[in-house]
Structure 1
């Protein structure tokens, strides 16, 4: 079953289920809780899918076996909240018909604790995946490090990548790091790959 047909069935199930439709949901307990409100969260989602007129929420829950599978694939342990990821399905209804645009997720990768101008440096990565299962757009939110890490010159290198591609960052790799933040550059790339894999597990998508 293709990624698009799987997601279209998911959208239909979300709408018919009713409870998953986003109206004014409380902040998620994991990554999105740091954004403070649905208005802020929606604004961030709009940056990832600017053509979307609505976003539908789907929360998953991984079994211990799935967690073990994911950790083996990604090479690191999941945060407790990552066992219950929240996906945001972007749709466009401007034509009067619901058109599936893709899926977004927010990931907070492990960054080495450090202070910058009195604030703890964190990376909140928003990743959008299109109907083909490829990275559509990557955006960083609330990042206080090098601005170069947040700009298209770096982030757009991830656009179009799928799980079959390498996400390794380096001066001799396809993905070039930000000069003064090579570790953070790799963390952002890792977050994009994690998003793709979590969606694969949650949607039952092979390949």
Structure 2
């Protein structure tokens, strides 16, 4: 899905809300960019030690039972594209496995800033131990602190059973951005769950 398509989808959701219609209940979906060049650049920010030419793409289709499990765990209905995720496999120059990356847009509904849609696109890298190795927030136009390591590094090393709720267990939200801070935490947990179900990654 391109940025233009995602923009149009979010505008449509906003219009449906204003018209008091009942859109499909959903709270997150996968983020994609319109070119491999942009995707590759964002992947290298998640795994800077990866072989630039060694990335592999793993596509997966969740079964009906897996979708039901995911929706029960996440607490919302998946978008159609969430059921067909793309995972990006990172390896080093010697071919050693480094981890898996995925991009998620955890926005619950369109948000406007200065007359435009405020996007929130999160990249999550997970290492071979099933733990968050790095998180990045791309091109965010809100409080820049949300995209800085001082906030994002709080989530490094966490696994599926860890706490991802801001204000609990040492996680501190960015001042003035409590909703977006929690959305980043939600994206991290969702990434771990999507990978566990699709790729069989288990703690330890």
| TM superposition score category, shorter chain reference | 0.7 to 0.9
| 1:58-207 pair list within 5 angstroms | 58-93=58-93, 97-170=94-167, 172-206=168-202
Tell me the equivalent position of 2:23: none
RMSD: 1.9
Aligned residues: 176
Distance in 2, matches of 1:79 and 1:173, equals: 30
Where structure 2 has 5 or more consecutive residues not aligned to the other structure, the ranges are 6-29
TM-score (norm 2): 0.81
State the 4+ residue runs in structure 1 displaced beyond 6 angstroms: 26-29
Tell me the equivalent position of 2:37: 39
Distance in 1, matches of 2:69 and 2:182, equals: 22
TM-score (norm 1): 0.80
Instruction: Indicate conservation of the 8 Å contact 1:102/1:130, yes or no.
Output: yes
Distance in 1, matches of 2:197 and 2:143, equals: 33
Where structure 1 has 5 or more consecutive residues not aligned to the other structure, the ranges are 1-25
Distance in 1, matches of 2:195 and 2:151, equals: 23
Instruction: Indicate conservation of the 8 Å contact 1:111/1:122, yes or no.
Output: no
